[in-house]
Amino acid sequence: MTEEHYFAANPSTPFTRVPVRADVWGHWLELTTGSGVFARGRLDVGTGVLLRETAPPTQAREVLDLGCGYGVIGLAIAVAVPGARVTAVDVNERALLLARENAERLGVADRFRAVRPDEVEADLRFDEVWSNPPIRVGKDALHELLLTWLPRLRPDGRAVMVVGKNLGADSLTRWLGEQGFPTTRSASAKGFRVLESRPSRGPS
């Protein structure tokens, strides 16, 4: 039987919750993961690299966790940056449910919301976009996803993403630059690149 993709909206796999504990930026996060959701029962390697190699966005006020899964990236930001409000988006309804439960458990539900992409206000702009993007949806779908959300960065904002080197991190870096989001590699570890993109200011 083919394994069901974690980016299915409503996974058919029987739903079993699995706890996970992660130390991020000096805070222990007690989280619940689940079947049919990316990285069940663990902090995946890519997300671990992203959070270990990048400092929390202490000046950000509006943050997007793009493809949030059970919410670890956005929740880590909400815990570490008390002034930040985090919008976490995913198409997987189980992931959204777990992210909401985790926010309640961590006491940040007043500043963290997990919603479907179509539930985000059209005029909302972000200081930061953080993501371990769903590379396996395919190049076209990934490009569409990024071109939907990166234009919602404020002019002085940035996107921080982690992408496997063998999954096209370097070609994605070039492509993002061609789309008006100059991108640099800020870190590299365990076969992953941490990429930082900023909106092009265009000609002066």
| DSSP states of 141-188 | HHHHHHHHHGGGEEEEEEEEEEEEGGGTHHHHHHHHHHTT--EEEEEE
Identify whether 111 is part of a domain. Answer: yes
Does residue 203 surpass a pLDDT of 50?
Answer: no
Identify whether 17 is part of a domain. Answer: no
| Residue 87 · residue 110 · CB < 8 Å | no
In the chain, what percentage of residues exceed pLDDT 70?
91
Identify whether 33 is part of a domain. Answer: no
Does residue 180 surpass a pLDDT of 60?
Answer: yes
Confidence of residue 3 (pLDDT cuts 50, 70, 90): very low
Does residue 6 surpass a pLDDT of 60?
Answer: no
Q: Please tell me which residue, 82 or 9, carries the higher pLDDT value.
A: 82
Distances (CA, A) of 107 to 17, 128, 136: 20, 22, 32
Total number of domains in the chain:
1
Identify whether 154 is part of a domain. Answer: yes
Q: Please tell me which residue, 190 or 3, carries the higher pLDDT value.
A: 190
Confidence of residue 10 (pLDDT cuts 50, 70, 90): low
Distances (CA, A) of 45 to 4, 51, 66, 71, 113: 20, 10, 17, 15, 24
What CATH number did the domain enclosing 51 receive?
Answer: 3.40.50.150
Q: Give the DSSP H or E segment for 89.
A: strand 85-89
Distance separating alpha carbons of residues 44 and 58, to the nearest angstrom: 24
Identify whether 10 is part of a domain. Answer: no
For 94, the domain range is 44-197
- Encode pLDDT of 28-73 as tens digits: 999 999 988 888 788 999 999 999 999 999 999 999 999 999 999 9
Query: Looking at residue 153, what is its pLDDT?
Result: 98
Identify whether 6 is part of a domain. Answer: no
Query: Looking at residue 138, what is its pLDDT?
Result: 86
Query: Looking at residue 11, what is its pLDDT?
Result: 54
Mean pLDDT of 124-140: 93
* pTM attached to this predicted model: 0.91
Query: Looking at residue 201, what is its pLDDT?
Result: 66
Identify whether 53 is part of a domain. Answer: yes
Confidence of residue 145 (pLDDT cuts 50, 70, 90): very high
Identify whether 38 is part of a domain. Answer: no
Distance separating alpha carbons of residues 65 and 158, to the nearest angstrom: 12
| Residue 127 · residue 62 · CB < 8 Å | yes
Query: Looking at residue 59, what is its pLDDT?
Result: 97
